Amino acid sequence: MSPFALPPFEPHAVWILFARLGSAFLLLPGFAEAYVPARLRLALALMTSLLVAGSGLLDLPPVPSEPASFAALIVSEIGIGLLIGATARFALAAVHLAGSLIATNSGLAGAALFDPSEATPGTLPGAFLSTTFLVLLFATDAHSVLLRRLVGSYEGLPIGGVLWVGGVGELCARLGSEMFATGLAMAAPLLAVSLLTNLALGLLARLVPTLHVLFIALPMQLLLSLAALALSLGASLLLALRLLDRGTAWVTG
């Protein structure tokens, strides 16, 4: 046998693996964005399924004899894949939340911009943060960590296993609260700068009543907010990557 030949595997194994991997690719950050063609996502998921099935590293269960049992197995794998992708998606949701908070408190709420990650109009800070986060995701090789954990999910969540509904609800509730906390922490420097700027402008308006504060309020708020965003950008994106790590660590048990 050639050292480059793949071990033999059953054709049904590809479809069982594709049910989980393909559904996860529908939601994984960086792979499930609107500008990624659906055919490319399906091809990538199918290629990954072929490689995993041919590697011989997984103990695949026998094919259910009844069509209903096989369909139930496929539906279960699709649900697990969607859950893995959804938990990873919380990190990108935190980035969008931070962008919305920053836009509201920096005077950029009216600057609508097309957000490529959502394929809808969004705020300027939200589009900037989400795009930077996705670039950082691939630049730091974090996308390969996502793929390794996705394949490693077959150890923590074997094929044919049953998810406990209470555990899934508790996981989503915990990640949802962490998503809001992370988004607020990412926007915290901008919120503090906005608060201090408004306090300073209010004090200045009291001390110098003849000064037209509104003429300098927006430029000053924009300048200070952009400066704070530039200084806190690295730490903010690191928080989002940590949330992504926590959101996918559960799949490997």
Per-residue confidence (pLDDT) for residue 61, from 0 to 100: 67
pTM, two decimals, is 0.82
Choose among 137, 192, 159: nearest CA to 18: 159
Give the C-alpha separation, 118 to 40, whole Å.
Answer: 18
Give the C-alpha separation, 37 to 44, whole Å.
Answer: 11
pLDDT tens digit string along 192-210? 998 998 888 888 888 887 7
Q: What is the CA radius of gyration of the chain?
A: 23
- Mean pLDDT of the region 156-182: 82
Per-residue confidence (pLDDT) for residue 116, from 0 to 100: 63
What is the band of 57 on the pLDDT scale with cuts at 50, 70, 90? low
- Mean pLDDT of the region 215-232: 85
Per-residue confidence (pLDDT) for residue 114, from 0 to 100: 67
Are 206 and 124 contacting, i.e. CB atoms less than 8 angstroms apart? no
In this predicted structure, the answer to whether residue 4 has a pLDDT above a threshold of 50 is: no
- Lowest model confidence (mean pLDDT) among 45-49, 60-64, 245-249: 60-64
In the chain, alpha helices (H): 11-25, 38-55, 67-106, 124-139, 142-156, 165-207, 213-249
pLDDT tens digit string along 98-137? 988 998 888 777 666 666 666 677 778 888 898 899 999 9
**DSSP letter (8 states) at residue 252:** G
**CB contact set of 140 (below 8 Å; sequence gap of 6+):** 241
Residues in the chain: 253
